[in-house]
C-alpha cells in the first residue's frame, strides 16, 4: 500500500460536489483500502468563496480553479461545475497538466466529447463520466466494459427524472401538464426554469453519450432528434389507457435493420403497461438494453440527486486512481465503427394519431386511403361520434417516420379532417 496520497481537485461544490466532498471525508479509510493509496481533497474551486460549506476546511476553498490545476501536485480533477464554460477549459487545462478527469457534465460531453476524449488520449490520461448519464445507475461502465464483447442493437430508457415525475403524476392523478409541473417544482423535482428537462435537452445530451458508447461511433447532441413533453395532455393519457399503455419521455437509440447506420431520438411515447419501463415511478430512471448475445437487460435506479450522483463520481474516482497507480488508463473513446446517424425520417416505429373529423359517412374511408397512399398500414381505428363532431383514433403498424409525416400533412388538407389533435409514437412490444 502506497502512503503518499493521491491529490484530488474538486471543481464545483454544489449539489453533487458537496456530497463528493462529504463522502471523501467520511469514507476515507474505505477509499484508501479500495484504491491502494489514500486520496486527499487538495482544493475545492467554487464561485462564492464566502459561502459556508459544512465539513469542508475553508483553507481548501478557492475561486481560482485554473491555479488549483496548475499548482503541480494534483493527480485527479473532479469537474462538477456543469455547463460548457469554464468547465471545458478547466478539463483541457487538467489534461495539459497531467491530471485525469472525472466529470458529471452531460451537456459538455454531448457537445464536445470527441475533442475531450482526444485530449485525454493524447495526454495518456483518463476521462470518466459515469455520473453524466442516469445518476447513480451503473450504465456507462456496463455498456463500455461488461458488454464490450457483445453487439448492442437497441437502448431505450427513461433518463430524465423530472419529466418522469411529471408524467407519472399525470398518469396517476389525471392532472394536466401544468398542474403536474407545479407539483414537481414545489417538491424540488423541477428547477425554476424547467426548460432543459421538459423540452428534452437533458435527455438528448444523455442519449448522445449513450449512443456513442453503445454503437462505438460518434454521436453529437445535434444528431439527436428531440421533442419535449410539454404538449402531452390528460387526453393523451386517457387515450393511452384505453390502449393499455402509459406515456413516458424516452431516449431511444437503435441500430438500423441493415446495420449500416444508427438513430438517436428523444420524445414522449406510449408504451404498454406490461413493459418494464412502464412501471418506473416518480423521478426514477431506467434503461433497457438489447444486445445480440446478452438479450434484454434493464438497469434501474435514482437518476439524479446529490448523493446518488456522488456515488457514481466516486466509483469513477476509485477507477481513475487505480489506473494512475498502475500507470495505465481505462478504455477511452471507441468510435471505430464510424456508423452515421440517420435522420428522424428514417426511424421506423408505430404511431397513435387522434383526428377531429366531420361526423358523416365516408370519412373513415377517406382517412384510410390517405394512410394507404403514404404506405402507412393501419393496425386499429376507433371512431367516436357525438353532436355532429367525431374523433378518429388511428394506431398504425410500423412505418418510417417520414411516411407518417407525409400522411399527417395530407390528412390536414382533407376537408373532412377538422384537426390533428395529437400524434404520438408507440414503442415497446
Ligand X SMILES: NC(=O)c1ccc[n+]([C@@H]2O[C@H](COP(=O)([O-])OP(=O)(O)OC[C@H]3O[C@@H](n4cnc5c(N)ncnc54)[C@H](OP(=O)(O)O)[C@@H]3O)[C@@H](O)[C@H]2O)c1
The residue (of 77 and 123) whose beta carbon lies closer to ligand X is 77
Among 6, 21, 31, 46, the residue binding ligand X under the rule CB under 6 A is 46
E-assigned strand segments in 292-410: 295-302, 348-358, 378-386, 389-396, 399-400
Give the contact letters, 20-59, x = binds to a copy of itself (CB under 8 A), - = no.
---x---x--xx-xx-------------------------
Can you tell me the distance from the alpha carbon of 140 to that of 109, in angstroms, rounded to the nearest whole number? 13
For residue 24 the three cell numbers come to 471523501
CA Rg value for the chain = 24
β-bridge mates for residue 45, sequence order: 11, 62
Tell me: does residue 322 bind a copy of itself (CB under 8 A). yes
Confirm whether 169 is a catalytic residue. Answer: no
- In the complex, what is the shortest distance from the CB of residue 171 to ligand X, in angstroms, rounded to a whole number? 23
Number of residue whose CB is nearest ligand X: 14
Q: Is 312 in the site for a copy of itself (CB under 8 A)?
A: yes
311 touches a copy of itself by CB under 8 A: yes
Contact range with a copy of itself by CB under 8 A, out of 163-171, 243-251, 294-302, 378-386:
294-302
Among 64, 96, 145, 356, interactor with a copy of itself by CB under 8 A = 145
**How is residue 67 written as a grid cell?**
491555479
Whether the Cβ atoms of residue 262 and residue 151 lie closer than 8 Å to each other: no
Give the DSSP letter string of 184-227: HHHTTSS-SS-HHHHTTHHHHHHHHHHHHHHHTS---GGGSEE-
Q: Is 12 annotated as a binding residue?
A: yes
Spell 361-397 as b/e; 16+ CB within 10 A means b.
eebeeebeebbeebebebeebeeeeeeeebbbbbbbe
> Could you say which of 206, 248, 386, 413 is catalytic?
206
Question: Minimum CB separation from a copy of itself for residue 305, in Å?
Answer: 8
Residue 260, class by beta-carbon neighbours within 10 Å (0-12 exposed, 13-18 middle, 19+ buried)? Answer: exposed
Annotated binding site: which residue ranges?
Answer: 11-18, 106, 191
Residues carrying an active site annotation: 206
* Interface ranges with a copy of itself (CB under 8 A): 19, 23, 27, 30-31, 33-34, 130, 136-138, 141-142, 145-151, 216, 276, 279, 291-302, 305, 307-308, 310-319, 322-323, 326-329, 331, 334, 336-337
Residues flagged as binding site for NADP(+): 11-18
Amino acid at each position: 500500500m502506497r502512503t503518499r496520497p493521491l491529490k484530488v481537485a474538486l471543481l464545483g461544490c454544489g449539489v453533487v460536489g458537496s456530497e463528493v466532498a462529504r463522502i471523501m471525508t467520511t469514507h476515507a479509510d474505505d477509499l484508501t483500502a479500495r484504491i491502494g493509496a489514500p486520496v486527499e481533497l487538495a482544493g475545492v474551486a467554487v464561485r462564492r468563496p464566502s459561502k459556508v460549506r459544512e465539513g469542508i476546511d475553508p483553507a481548501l476553498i478557492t475561486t481560482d480553479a485554473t491555479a488549483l490545476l496548475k499548482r503541480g501536485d494534483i493527480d485527479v480533477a473532479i469537474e462538477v461545475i456543469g455547463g460548457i464554460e469554464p468547465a471545458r477549459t478547466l478539463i483541457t487545462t487538467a489534461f495539459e497538466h497531467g491530471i485525469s478527469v472525472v466529470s458529471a457534465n452531460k451537456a459538455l460531453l454531448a457537445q464536445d466529447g470527441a475533442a475531450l476524449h482526444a485530449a485525454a488520449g493524447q495526454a495518456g490520461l483518463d476521462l470518466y463520466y459515469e455520473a453524466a448519464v442516469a445518476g447513480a445507475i451503473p450504465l456507462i461502465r456496463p455498456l463500455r466494459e461488461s458488454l464490450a464483447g457483445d453487439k448492442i442493437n437497441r437502448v431505450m430508457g427513461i433518463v430524465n427524472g423530472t419529466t418522469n415525475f411529471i408524467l407519472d403524476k399525470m398518469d396517476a392523478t389525471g392532472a394536466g401538464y401544468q398542474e403536474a409541473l407545479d407539483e414537481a417544482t414545489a417538491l424540488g423535482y423541477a428547477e425554476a426554469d424547467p426548460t432543459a428537462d421538459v423540452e428534452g435537452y437533458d435527455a438528448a445530451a444523455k442519449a448522445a453519450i449513450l449512443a456513442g458508447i453503445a454503437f462505438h461511433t460518434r454521436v453529437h447532441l445535434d444528431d439527436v432528434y428531440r421533442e419535449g413533453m410539454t404538449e402531452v395532455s390528460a387526453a393523451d393519457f386517457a387515450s393511452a389507457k384505453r390502449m393499455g399503455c402509459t406515456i413516458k419521455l424516452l431516449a431511444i437509440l437503435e441500430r438500423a435493420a441493415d446495420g449500416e447506420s444508427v438513430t438517436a431520438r428523444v420524445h414522449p411515447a406510449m408504451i404498454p403497461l406490461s413493459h418494464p419501463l412502464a412501471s418506473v415511478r416518480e423521478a426514477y430512471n431506467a434503461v433497457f438494453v438489447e444486445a445480440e448475445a446478452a438479450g434484454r437487460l434493464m438497469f434501474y435506479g435514482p437518476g439524479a440527486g446529490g448523493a446518488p450522483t456522488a456515488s457514481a463520481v466516486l466509483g469513477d474516482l476509485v477507477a481513475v486512481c487505480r489506473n494512475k497507480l498502475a500507470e495505465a488508463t481505462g478504455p477511452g473513446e471507441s468510435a471505430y465503427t464510424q456508423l452515421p446517424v440517420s435522420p428522424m425520417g428514417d426511424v421506423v416505429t408505430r404511431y397513435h394519431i387522434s383526428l377531429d373529423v366531420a361526423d358523416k359517412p365516408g370519412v373513415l374511408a377517406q382517412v384510410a386511403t390517405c394512410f394507404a397512399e403514404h404506405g402507412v398500414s393501419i393496425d386499429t381505428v376507433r371512431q367516436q361520434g357525438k353532436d355532429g363532431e367525431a374523433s378518429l383514433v388511428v394506431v398504425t403498424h410500423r412505418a418510417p417516420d417520414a411516411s407518417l409525416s407525409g400522411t399527417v400533412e395530407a390528412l390536414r388538407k382533407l376537408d373532412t379532417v377538422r384537426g390533428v389533435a395529437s400524434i404520438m409514437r408507440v414503442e415497446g412490444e
